[in-house]
Amino acid sequence: MPEAALKPGRYFMQGNVACAEGALAAGCRFFAGYPITPATEIAEHMALRLPEFDGVYIQMEDEIGSIASVIGAAWTGALAMTATSGPGMSLMQENIGYAVGTETPCVIVDVQRGGPSTGIPAVPMQGDMVQVRRGSHGDYESIAFAPASAQEMFDLTVRAFNMAEQVRTPVFVMADAALGHMREPVEIPEPNTVPKIRRKLPDPKTDPQEIQGFLDEDVAPMPIFGHGFKAHVTGSCHDERGMRNVVDAQALDGFVRTLTRKVEKQREALIQVESEETEDAEVVLLGYGMVGRAAKAIAQEARQTGLRVGSLRPITVWPFADREIQTLCENAKRVMVMENNLGQMLPYVQAAVNADVISLPPQVLGTLHRPQEVLERIQEVIS
């Protein structure tokens, strides 16, 4: 139904709305959610817009139900998503592990707010960055992108769907309250120029007994429901046919390693890092999401005063771009990790680079870094 898509052009749009429009442009036709500040506008916009695409919106009884019904819808072949914030993310963790274990493509948007616990709903924080990496029990790899503008709320939501379909796993969009609520110009592309990757399906002529629909490092075809594939989908340890094996440690080893390697093998397609003037930089400011924007602006300001400062913004936060960051920081003496938290990604940067790594949260958590303070720190470390 292309007439439902927005006309291409420049719009003044809220970040959360841009995210929802990105989902629709990518082909999302199922949304389940539960109201939560600061993510609610995504649900509201999907409730308004999905019927125009013959899609389904449902407000579930909680976030556990939201992610559960998203996974159920994904198994019918739909592109499905949910959006929430920290408390909802915490509730979803068990079923996120289920989506990983059953190789269910879906998109989960986390518009982060101040935490722990109820925290402050409308104040931005980057408090869920490590939770999204390892929040569910067991051992697994995550894929997460961190947008820095309303435009990227659109673009990276499209990309999240495409990568979810390509890798057959949940993909996270890690926004925050400022980004979700901010209004900015957004360029909406021609609908048929939006890239659309779709999951592999088994050959419909295959004997259901022969379908190997799980545990392939190169991503198995997904035996979606309703096509006579007789899929057996279980969160229990299973084999390539989906058949449960809960007695054999060797089977568990294969289950965990194959799912992990599957993501690692897609690393090239997944990793995106933006950098500016890092080649000769003495100091590199590293930040992701909204903070990455501040890092870039402050580095430019420092250059104007003659300081050799560069900036680096991981757009893909998981898998962690350690090799790329190492290369970009090769000549740097110091890397300042700017995060709106007390150093969640810091240990990963420390492990990746040879330079001195300094943690630089904003002076007041939940607010933007003040350029003057950062510039003073730069001058301190350079002199």
**Which residues form the interface with another protein (CB under 8 A)?**
29-30, 32, 56, 58, 60-62, 64-65, 68-78, 80, 94-95, 98, 208-209, 225-226, 228-236, 243-244
| Shortest reach from residue 349's CB to another protein, in Å | 34
Cα(76)–Cα(9) distance, integer angstroms = 33
Q: What is each CA distance from 220 to 200, 213, 305, in whole angstroms?
A: 7, 5, 54
The sign of the CA dihedral 245, 251, 253, 258 is negative
| Shortest reach from residue 171's CB to another protein, in Å | 18
* Beta carbon nearer to another protein, 230 or 257: 230
Cα(223)–Cα(225) distance, integer angstroms = 7
Task: Say how many residues make up the chain.
Answer: 383
| Shortest reach from residue 256's CB to another protein, in Å | 18
* Beta carbon nearer to another protein, 244 or 323: 244
> How many angstroms from the chain centroid is the CA of residue 166?
14
* Beta carbon nearer to another protein, 80 or 153: 80
* Beta carbon nearer to another protein, 244 or 257: 244
| Shortest reach from residue 31's CB to another protein, in Å | 10
> How many angstroms from the chain centroid is the CA of residue 68?
18
- Amino acid, single-letter form, for residue 206: T
Instruction: Say if residues 99 and 170 touch (Cβ distance below 8 Å).
Output: yes
Chain position carrying tokens 């920290």: 86
| Shortest reach from residue 142's CB to another protein, in Å | 18
* Beta carbon nearer to another protein, 95 or 157: 95
* Beta carbon nearer to another protein, 236 or 379: 236
Cα(107)–Cα(147) distance, integer angstroms = 14
| Shortest reach from residue 380's CB to another protein, in Å | 50
Strands 283-287, 143-145: pairing kind? unpaired
- The C-alpha R_g of the chain, in whole angstroms, comes to 21
* Beta carbon nearer to another protein, 210 or 218: 210
Q: Tokens at residue 16, please?
A: 């959360």
* Beta carbon nearer to another protein, 213 or 310: 213
| Shortest reach from residue 71's CB to another protein, in Å | 6
- Residue 261 has φ and ψ, to the nearest 5°, of -60, -35
| Shortest reach from residue 268's CB to another protein, in Å | 32
| Shortest reach from residue 236's CB to another protein, in Å | 7
| Shortest reach from residue 233's CB to another protein, in Å | 5
Cα(297)–Cα(232) distance, integer angstroms = 51
- Residue 354 has φ and ψ, to the nearest 5°, of -90, -20
How open is the CA angle 139-66-2, to the nearest 5 degrees? Answer: 110
* Beta carbon nearer to another protein, 76 or 305: 76
SS3 189: coil
Strands 56-59, 80-84: pairing kind? unpaired
Cα(363)–Cα(84) distance, integer angstroms = 27
Residue 38 per-residue DSSP state: T
